[in-house]
């Protein structure tokens, strides 16, 4: 799964330039501990080379639902069931997006403790994570509102990554990112993109338990407590 991540503005903006081929205006706010239901930047594409970076709620709100809720875990979506899930089927067909992140956190059980690890690309300025987005419209507190929200697509971990967690977020190269959001992508092409695969070398580093508390948002969250492991 992927339940926490971070954004470091520079060099993550370099990743946006690689994907879009556009140098500006890409701007993100650095934050070291982003949790579900927060507003996060989402990269979308429309026909005509029209890229946009918009803030969305990280916890998908289905268009047919009564409104935002945390009753069901909608911040991650399983790649294996995107085409059959009532919540994700339509976004998978027509509202695919990229979530640019610097790295994400995962917890591994060691003895009686769950210890955090920071996972980041070794040879890239950030991860381009596969995402889906949705638009909800309805009445909230007596007012008409529109909520745009998103989810991160996960898949089974590769053998090398399974030592950290049994699932991992789907991540792409710049070219694959463009394929993912393209309106012309076939079902077969999309399924190939969702395959459990590492598209870059991964650095895994044990970090401070400061990150366990989602209210902690500073650099202490990525403070290394041991040697990194490179996975490929």
DSSP secondary structure letters along 104-135: EEEEEEETTEEEEEEEEESSSSSEEEEEEEEE
Q: Which residues contact 143 (CB under 8 A, 6 or more apart)?
A: none
Total domains in the chain come to 1
pLDDT(224) > 80:
yes
User: For the segment 97-128, what is each residue's pLDDT rounded down to a tens digit?
Assistant: 999 999 999 999 888 889 999 999 999 999 99
pLDDT(89) > 80:
yes
Q: What is the mean pLDDT of the chain?
A: 93
Q: How many CB atoms lie within 10 A of CB 96?
A: 24
Contact 133, 99 (CB under 8 A): no
Residue 101 half-sphere exposure, CB side, CA atoms within 13 Å?
28
Residue 48 pLDDT level (bands cut at 50, 70, 90): low
CATH classification at residue 64? 3.90.1680.10
Q: Which residue has the higher pLDDT, 163 or 118?
A: 118
Strand locations in 83-198 (E): 96-101, 103-110, 113-121, 127-140, 143-156, 167-169, 171-172
Contact 119, 103 (CB under 8 A): yes
Cα–Cα nearest to 62, from 180, 154, 181, 150: 150
Supply the pLDDT for residue 46. Answer: 81
Residue 23 pLDDT level (bands cut at 50, 70, 90): confident
Cα–Cα nearest to 39, from 130, 133, 129, 107: 133
Supply the pLDDT for residue 47. Answer: 66
Across the range 9-34, mean pLDDT stands at 91
Supply the pLDDT for residue 59. Answer: 97
User: For the segment 174-193, what is each residue's pLDDT rounded down to a tens digit?
Assistant: 999 999 999 888 999 999 99
- In the structure encoding, which two tokens stand for residue 51, read together? 């890229």
Q: Which domain holds residue 56?
A: 4-231
Supply the pLDDT for residue 120. Answer: 97
């Amino acid at each position: 799964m992927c339940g926490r991540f971070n954004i470091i503005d520079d060099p993550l903006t370099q990743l946006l330039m690689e994907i879009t081929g556009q140098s500006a205006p890409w701007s993100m706010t650095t934050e070291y501990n982003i949790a579900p239901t927060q507003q996060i930047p989402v990269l979308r594409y429309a026909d005509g080379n029209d890229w946009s970076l918009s803030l969305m709620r990280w916890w998908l709100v289905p268009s047919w639902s009564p409104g935002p809720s945390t009753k069901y875990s909608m911040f991650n979506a399983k790649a294996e069931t995107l085409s059959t899930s009532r919540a994700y089927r339509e976004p998978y067909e027509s509202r695919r997006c990229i979530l640019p992140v610097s790295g994400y956190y995962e917890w591994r059980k060691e003895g009686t403790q769950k210890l955090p690890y920071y996972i980041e690309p070794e040879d890239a300025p950030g991860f381009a994570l596969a995402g889906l987005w949705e638009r909800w419209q309805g009445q909230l507190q007596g007012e008409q509102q529109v909520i745009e929200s998103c989810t991160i697509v996960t898949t089974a971990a590769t053998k090398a990554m399974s030592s950290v967690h049994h699932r991992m977020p789907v991540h792409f190269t710049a070219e694959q990112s463009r394929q993912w959001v393209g309106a012309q992508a076939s079902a077969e092409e999309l399924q190939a993109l969702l395959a459990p695969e590492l598209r870059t070398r991964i650095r895994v580093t044990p970090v401070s338990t400061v990150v366990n508390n989602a209210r902690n948002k500073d650099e202490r969250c990525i403070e290394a407590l041991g040697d990194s492991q490179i996975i490929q």
